[in-house]
Structure 1
Amino acid sequence: MVHTRAQTKKMLHASISRFNDDLFTEILLRLPAPSIFRFKSVSKHWRLLLSRKHFIQRYDQISKSPTGLIATDIYVPFDVENPSTPPFRCLDSYFDRPGVEIVQSCNGLLLCVTRPKGPNGASKYYVFNPTTKQLALIPPIPGGPSAIWFMGLAFHQTDCVRYKVVCVLSVGPDVGSYQIQVYSSDTKEWQISIESFSASIYFIRRGVFWNGAVYWASFFDKIKYWYFKIDDQQLHTLPLPLGLIPSVAVTNYLGESRGHLHLIASKKFQGGMLCQRLKVYEMFVKYQLQLNAISKYGPRYALQVMDVVRGEEEEDTFLVLKTLDKIITYNLFCSDETKLTCILRTRVLSFIITQIRP
């Protein structure tokens, strides 16, 4: 029986519609982000499937973890026995000014800044894709220079074109009064999202993008967690994780890996000594670390948590820690004899830590 072109097209469309979405999803989850973006234009059904929150969350969980970090201007691979190739050797050749600083990494994009030499110049912010080597200059915030306290990217790898930049800057004569503005790569414009709110300077200096929002944690003052949701342009208070007692705890780290938001807290300093336990939270106590094994790398008071990296399997999860003169990884599931690995020995005490994700 010979089918007309219209009948064949209709049968093909029906076959695609009957295609097992679960199996199809499992295939797509294994593809790189650029392929996911291209497949969104195949059909409305594929676009809807690839835009669902459930798919995005699963893609985050199985996508590749960062292969290394940038410490100042040094690339440090996590696997020292099988080091990966750095995505770039030097950033200066891609910019119109020397001395490029990496402000933040977000799902494969880098937010960078170049500082002026003279007192009258202004900093320039850029979004850089280390894979394609594409560079985009972020226009200055309207109204002249302001005291910028936080500048961060909001980007997901399944949406390879669109990104946003969230800026927190001081406004008005009042100390501790801030404003949030958002830049969109679609409109190429800044827009005021929140006219004014009060917070500590230390509270807003560090932020991380996760699940459609930017999260901040207080590191020095009373423990509190806020998040700015990109879609509704509102600032919300995040409930404290179960088991975290604000009066006796201090925040050591807030970050994202494989679609998971991690918070590390420990007891406050007592008698000049750091508590021997670090607790990694994911709205509850996820991991608890004993720090006795780290003493051979230096005093615990000099310990700084740089990153939490989730593995494809949970037993491959590790922490990146900095001591006075070393950067080490700490596997959460190995024995004390094998869990610590020194990945860099250095006397440089000032670090810009950036995850590098393919």
Structure 2
Amino acid sequence: MVPITGNDNEISSPEEDCHQTTSLASTTIAGNDDLLTEILVCTPFKSLIRFKSVSKHWFSLISASHLSFNRILRRRPSGLFLRKTPLFLCDFMSEFEFVSFSNNNHNLSGALNFADDPSGIKILQSCNGLLLCSTFRKSVGKTNHNYYIYNPTTKQYSTLPPLTGTESTVFGYGLAFDPLKSIHYTVICVSSMDEYNVFYNRKCDYYINVYSSETRSWRSSGRFQTSYYMGLTDGVFCNGSIHWISLSGASFRFDVDHEYLETLPIPDSRGRRIPDSGGRRRERKYRYFGESNGHLHLIENYRTVTTQFDVFEMERDYSKWFVKYRVDLVGIVNAFPKMDRSRRDIRCMNYYAYSILNLVREEDENESSLLLHVPGKVLSYKLKDNTFKELHNLAPGKFHKKGSLQFGCFDAYLYTETLASV
């Protein structure tokens, strides 16, 4: 048989046909931004960062704000940053362990040394992929802490400019970032110049300053008067507002868009309120305060620690807290007897070693869960049927005794990967 030759009559092999088809498909995808975006939205972040170097067009497409927005809509939280509790007051270099919810995340454990700050870095708040951080202590020769916005995914950070009026005492910071509304973020600072009256629950002035990433500057948002002690916990962003819980028992909400602050009701745990203490503040003890799926949650315990507690949820109209879940961890204590410290600590006959790291509120109530830290492990506890499973085994801490807790109740920061600029 004589082979047929010539350009018009040349017969290609199946391998060549496949290669030509693949090349044609690749060309079609590369020339269609909408189709390429749909593919990039489903691409792991680690690969996306590498793909930015393919071309200027890919860099622009991946960096585009709408791509980040679409990823937020489709992605679940990536994991938890856990701050290891320092055992010594002189230990300012805080280390973090990252508990991943999947196998596709970066290795984000270790110290937050992005700014190479000799004073050490701590996380104040995590908000939709961005971290609000500060130094542990004031640097030598400075009157204020340094504050940063950090994106662990892109390794980018921005240093916030100092506030004017160094005589003010800062009582709380808060970060507001909603990538579905804007590519810009806002930082709120609450301060006062009258620390003496603050401590004794006397009426005094508080000042609110607002920082915008769009203008890269601070501005005053006004002042308000209250007799509540504003020793604020880390801020929690939920539904367009930053929320704080005060050690005096009061809670506050700052509406970021309309820039007003209001006092919120406090939960009445089992019908008992904390009595006043001679005109001075009486601290309430909180075991968790956070947001999940647009809901605000609070867990408090100011009596002997037990296996039983209530999870409060705030009404949508902020009218009251109500009991959403009733929890009893006796099954977990039976499975992990090292949690029971009743015989080890004679000062407290009922004491159980555990920390509440996060509450995951799902649309399907059967899937809502608590993330708990027990000695040596991180557990997921289903609130509906009281079942649990191990998520992560913790490496022994350098200075922690075997069986001790390495993380406190407010040492966990939920994190979602994002390409947002800072």
TM-score (norm 1): 0.70
- In structure 1, how many angstroms separate the alpha carbons of the residues matched to 2:65 and 2:239? 22
Report matched runs for 1:25-174 at 5 Å: 38-39=65-66, 63-72=75-84, 73-79=95-101, 82=103, 84-87=105-108, 89-95=110-116, 97=118, 99-114=120-135, 115-118=137-140, 120=142, 122-144=144-166, 146-159=168-181, 161-172=183-194, 174=196
- In structure 2, how many angstroms separate the alpha carbons of the residues matched to 1:210 and 1:36? 26
% identical equivalent positions: 28
Aligned residue type for 2:106: T
Per-residue deviation at 1:326? 4.0
User: 2:213: which partner in 1?
Assistant: 185
| 1:257 maps to which of 292, 306, 314 | 292
Where 2:413 maps in the other structure, the secondary structure is: strand
Aligned residue type for 1:276: Q
Which has the larger share of strand? 1
User: 2:381: which partner in 1?
Assistant: 331
User: 1:230: which partner in 2?
Assistant: 256
- In structure 2, how many angstroms separate the alpha carbons of the residues matched to 1:238 and 1:202? 13
Compute the RMSD of aligned alpha carbons.
3.9
Q: Greater CA deviation, 182-191 or 59-68?
A: 59-68
- In structure 2, how many angstroms separate the alpha carbons of the residues matched to 1:232 and 1:124? 28
Q: 1:79 to 1:126 in 2, by over 3 A?
A: closer
2:308 pairs with 1:276: yes
Q: Please say which structure displays the higher CA radius of gyration.
A: 2
Per-residue deviation at 1:328? 2.8
Q: Greater CA deviation, 103-112 or 293-302?
A: 293-302
Per-residue deviation at 1:104? 1.5
Q: 1:355 to 1:281 in 2, by over 3 A?
A: same
Q: 1:106 to 1:93 in 2, by over 3 A?
A: closer
Residues 309 and 317 in structure 1, CA contact (< 8 A), matched pair in contact too: yes
Q: 1:322 to 1:198 in 2, by over 3 A?
A: farther
Residues 210 and 261 in structure 1, CA contact (< 8 A), matched pair in contact too: yes
Q: CA offsets per residue over residues 98-150 of structure 1, 9 Å max, x none?
A: 62222211110011123444364532111111222221110100123532221
Per-residue deviation at 1:189? 2.0
Q: 1:304 to 1:91 in 2, by over 3 A?
A: closer
Per-residue deviation at 1:241? 6.7
Residues 119 and 139 in structure 2, CA contact (< 8 A), matched pair in contact too: no
Q: CA offsets per residue over residues 182-223 of structure 1, 9 Å max, x none?
A: 1111222222223243354465233211111111224x534x
Residues 175 and 235 in structure 2, CA contact (< 8 A), matched pair in contact too: no
- In structure 2, how many angstroms separate the alpha carbons of the residues matched to 1:244 and 1:225? 18
- In structure 1, how many angstroms separate the alpha carbons of the residues matched to 2:82 and 2:305? 29
Unaligned runs of 5+ in 2: 1-37, 46-60, 85-94, 199-203, 275-283, 316-321, 341-350, 418-422
Q: 1:338 to 1:89 in 2, by over 3 A?
A: closer
User: 1:288: which partner in 2?
Assistant: 326
Q: 1:86 to 1:337 in 2, by over 3 A?
A: same
Q: 1:191 to 1:305 in 2, by over 3 A?
A: same
Per-residue deviation at 1:236? 1.4
Per-residue deviation at 1:155? 0.7
Where 1:294 maps in the other structure, the secondary structure is: helix
User: 2:243: which partner in 1?
Assistant: 215
Matched residues, number: 308
